[in-house]
Structures are given as structure tokens and as C-alpha cells.
Chains A and B, each alone.
Chain A
Amino acid sequence: MSIVTKFSDLDLTKQYTYADYLLWQFSERIELLRGFIKKMSPAPSRRHQSISFNLTMKIGNMFNLKSCQVFIAPFDVRLPIPSAKKDNTVVQPDICIICDISKLDDHGCNGAPDLIVEILSPGNSKHDADTKFRLYEEAGVQEYWMVEPEEKLVFIYTLQNGIYIGLKPFSEGEIINSPRFPELKIEVEAIFLNV
């Protein structure tokens, strides 16, 4: 294993581990999914960033004085995936909340966050609605929000007996009430403000 400075030197058909990942010093943003490299878009869209900001402000205000911590991308989360090799899944969720502080280290989070939010981007639904959906479910992320900018909807899934169960989608005019964090209440309109 050695330092890699060019993304093009990586083999996209090969499986890597977190130890490899730590030696990558190129500027491309990537995630490691069951060992396979998934390149992320170089910069999110303005709409994506506005939603991320709005949500962060709302969630941040709720968690200011609580023992849980809120992180926004880029922030590395190493997920425990029982059906995959150890330490070969590293994701960068748009927003995550972690209440077990012992999972946090200098590199990010080692373990499943309590809540993950992903903001969907056109043409990328497979990544969030399928690949990451299954990873988060298997890793034991208690609650997963998918924010859909075009229709201004928020789809929330909660883990029940190891399976994600979707709630009624939240639309404008409604208030999101997180099952995992009942004190977290957000107006859907506030998420899509200036979007």
C-alpha cells in the first residue's frame, strides 16, 4: 500500500479498504461502497446546497445543547456492513446525526449514525434510493430521510426489525416530526426556502 495522488491510478473494478482510502491524496470526492469506488459529483448544485443549509440550520438549532452531534458533508462515515468485508464502506452523507459520541474520532464517524439525510439529485436516484438505502438499512441507521427537491417532498424511512419502513411522505404545508427525535420538528416549507 502506498500513497495515491492521481484518481486515474485507481482500479475501479477492484475492492479497496479504509486503510487504502486514507492514502488517497487526489482532489476527487469519492465514496467506498463495499470496497468499490463511487465517484461523487465535484460540486453539488446550488439547489442542493440551499436545502442542505436550510436543514442544517433547523437541525442544528434543535441539537445545540443536546448530547448528539450534527455533521454535514464532506464528513466520512465508516459503516459497519455485516455482509461485506470489514472497513470497506465509507460514505459522505449530506447530513448526519450521531448520538453515541464514542463513534466519533479525528477521521469522522466509525459506526452507524442515528439519522442520515440525503438530498436527491437528478439522475442519481439509484445511488440514494437503492445503493445507500440498502447500506444504511444493513448498517442499522435508525432513520433515513430522502429529500426530493423537484416535488418538494421528504421521504422518511425508519428501521423496524432490520427493515426500512416508509412513512407517509411529507409535503409543503406539513410539519416533519422525526420518530427517532420527537423534539425535531421542521416545516417542510422551511427546507425548501429560496430553492
Chain B
Amino acid sequence: MSIVTKFSDLDLTKQYTYADYLLWQFSERVELIRGFIKKMSPAPSKTHQVISRKLTRYIDRYFEHKPCGFFVAPFDVRLKSNNNHQIITVVQPDLCIICDLDKLDERGCLGAPDLVIEILSPGNSKNEMGEKFRLYEENQVKEYWLVEPFEKTIFIYSLQNDKFIGLKPCIEGEQIASPLFPELNFEIEKIFES
């Protein structure tokens, strides 16, 4: 293993580990999903960033005096895989909340956050929906929000008996309704105001 300074030197058909990941010094943003490299878009869209900022504002207000960590991307979350002691999955959720502070270290979070929030962007849905949904479920993330800018809707999935259960979508005119943090309160339409 050695330091890699060019993204193009990586083999996208190969499986890597977190130990490899730590040696990558190129500017491209990547995630490692079960060992495979997923390139992220170099910069999120304006809409994505506006929504991220607004969510951050309301969520931060709620967690300011709570003993939970609240982080906004880029922030590395290392997830464990079944039957594998090595870490081969490193994701950067748009927002995440971690209430078990033992999971936090200087490099980020080791283990499943309590709440993960991803803001969908066209063309990126495939990755987010398919593999990440299963990864988060497998790692027992307690709640997963998919924020859909086009329909101005938040789809909430709540872990029940080890499975994500989709709730009624939260739409404009409603308040957020998180089973995990019932007192977390903001108007959905505020998130999507441009």
C-alpha cells in the first residue's frame, strides 16, 4: 500500500479498504461502498446546497443542547460489513446525527449514525436509493430521510424489526414527523424555499 495522488491510478473494478482510502491524496470526492469506489459529483448543485443549509439550521437548533453529534458533509462515516473485520465502506451522508458519542473520533464516525439524511439530485438517485438504502438498513441506522427537491417531499424510513419501513411522505404544508426525534419540529416548505 502506498500513497495515491491521482484518482486515475485507482482500479475501479477492484475492492479497496479504509486503510487504502486513508492514503488517497487526490482532490476527487469518493465514497467506498463494499470496497468499490463511487465517485461523487465534484460540487453539489445550488438547490442541494440551499436545502442542506436550511436543514442544518433547523436541525442544529434542535440538537444544540442535546448530547448528540450533528455533522454535515463532507464527513466520513465508516460502516462495518458482515463477516469482514476490515472497513470497506466509507460514506459521506449529506447530514447525520450520532447519539452514541463513542462512535466519534478525529476521522469521523465509526459505526451507524442514528439518523442519516440524503438530499437527492438527478442522476445520483440510483446510488443513493439502491446501495446506500441497503447499507444503512443492514447497519441498523435507526432513521433515514430522503429529501426530494423536485417534489418538495421528505420520505422517511424508520427501522422497525431490523427493516426500513416507509412512512407517509412529509409534504409542503406539514411539519416534519420524525419517529426518532418527535420533538424535532420545522415546516417542510421552509426547507424548499429558494
Contact = CB atoms under 8 A, between A and B. Distances in A.
A171 interface: yes
A133 B130 contact: no
Interface in A157-195: 157, 164-174
A128 to B, nearest CB: 9
Nearest to A154: B129
Contacts of A170: 129
Nearest to A121: B151
Interface residues of A, number: 27
Interface size class, chain B:
20 to 34
A166 B155 CA distance: 9
Contact of A172 (B126, B133, B150): B126
A126 interface: yes
Interface string B111-152: 000000000101001101110011001000000001010111
Contact of B155 (A126, A150, A164, A169): A169
A107 to B, nearest CB: 30
Contacts of B150: 122, 148, 150-151
A135 B108 CA distance: 44
B171 A155 contact: no
Contacts of B173: 126, 130
Interface stretch (B15-23, B36-44, B160-168): B160-168
B169 interface: yes
B134 A151 contact: no
A130 B126 CA distance: 25
A25 interface: no
Given A126-B171, A168-B129, A155 B166 contact: yes
A151 B152 contact: no
Interface string A99-131: 000000000000000000000101001100110
A169 B131 CA distance: 11
A147 B157 CA distance: 18
B172 interface: yes
3 cross-chain pairs, A with B, having the tightest CB-CB distances, nearest first: A166-B166, A150-B150, A171-B129
Interface of B: 120, 122, 125-126, 128-130, 133-134, 137, 146, 148, 150-153, 155, 157, 164-169, 171-174
Interface of A: 120, 122, 125-126, 129-130, 133-134, 146, 148, 150-153, 155, 157, 164-174
21 contacts: A125-B152, A125-B169, A126-B173, A129-B151, A130-B169, A130-B171, A130-B173, A130-B174, A133-B169, A150-B122, A150-B151, A151-B122, A151-B148, A152-B125, A165-B165, A165-B166, A166-B165, A166-B167, A169-B155, A170-B129, A171-B130
